[in-house]
Amino acid sequence: MNGAQAKDGPVSQVPRTAQERPQAKYGLVSSALCQDEDRPLPLILAIDTASSCSAVALTRGSVVGGQVVASLSLNSNVTHSRRLLTAIDWLFNESGTEWQNVDGLAVSLGPGSFTGLRIGMATAKGLITATQKPLLGVSTLDALALNCSGERLICAVLDARKKEVYTCFYRYDIEGIPRRDGTIRVLSPQRLAEEIQQPVLFVGDAVMLYGELWQEALGTRFASAPRTLHYPCASALGLLAGEMLQQDQCLDPDSAAPLYVRASDAELSLGAVTR
């Protein structure tokens, strides 16, 4: 990709060996190289390949007071690996952005498509190796929750196949940022409905599959976000990553990995064979 070879300005160098890099817990590393005091509103390149949609965006700043510089989403039968770098090149060219202007690279951690998540993470790691930019990871469900607003409890839901959904509940804090109210899980749509005892706003592609089921089970407690908000948004991911960058919450490139939530079919088959 030509953009990855653009001239870089002075940036903090990411330590390249285990001895040089600070020790990280759960893949996170707090480091001064995650924040540039001369740039209070960091420019983030965000990549989302958690679903069938390849989404890339350039955002400046964080959720509070941030802005979307450019955004591109492609939903087709072409694989992520064939269109992702082309999409990033187009985004840079059309927005007049160079790699020396980028402060961090954000990638969707999942949950979502196993293949898509692996492609996104591999691409992100390749780009930061070439550009020496900090790496940030954001949950797909966290970005989905940012598509909504209001005081109602938000339930982000993604199709997990096998008649299950990936889900997590969210509430907005006083700053207008969605915070998790519980953990990210995978469970059946019926089980999810049984747990809900208050009005909930659902957002995510699973609503298009199980919305009628939840409407029937929950009645007036069920509300759906507009259909246009049911897909992960790279710009939302970038704004959340901007907040993480300002708080020095960067990923260690060596240990960074997608959030799968459950084991893949190959792992389950291997486990059955080895038992």
Same domain, residue pair 129 and 242: yes
pLDDT in tens, 42-59: 999 999 998 878 899 999
User: Looking at residue 86, which CATH number applies to its domain?
Assistant: 3.30.420.40
* CA 20/CA 149 separation, integer angstroms: 42
Predicted pLDDT at 236: 96
pTM exceeds 0.75 for this model: yes
Please state the rounded mean pLDDT for residues 144-158: 94
Same domain, residue pair 88 and 184: no
Predicted pLDDT at 132: 95
Domain-located, residue 214: yes
Domain-located, residue 4: no
Domain-located, residue 14: no
Domain-located, residue 17: no
Predicted pLDDT at 198: 97
Domain-located, residue 273: no
Number of compact structural domains in the chain = 2
Domain-located, residue 63: yes
pLDDT in tens, 57-115: 999 999 999 999 999 988 766 676 777 999 999 999 999 999 999 999 999 999 999 99
Domain-located, residue 267: no
pLDDT exceeding 70 applies to what percent of the chain?
79
Reply yes or no on whether the pLDDT at 40 is more than 90: no
Centre a 10 Å sphere on the Cβ of residue 9 and count the other Cβ atoms it contains: 8
- In degrees rounded to 5, what are phi and psi of residue 127? -70, -40
Domain that holds residue 76: 23-142+233-261
Alpha helices in the chain (DSSP H): 80-95, 114-131, 140-145, 189-195, 207-218, 234-246, 265-274
Same domain, residue pair 59 and 115: yes
pLDDT in tens, 209-258: 999 999 999 999 999 999 999 988 899 999 999 999 999 999 999 999 99
Same domain, residue pair 44 and 99: yes
Domain-located, residue 2: no
- Length of the chain measured in residues: 275
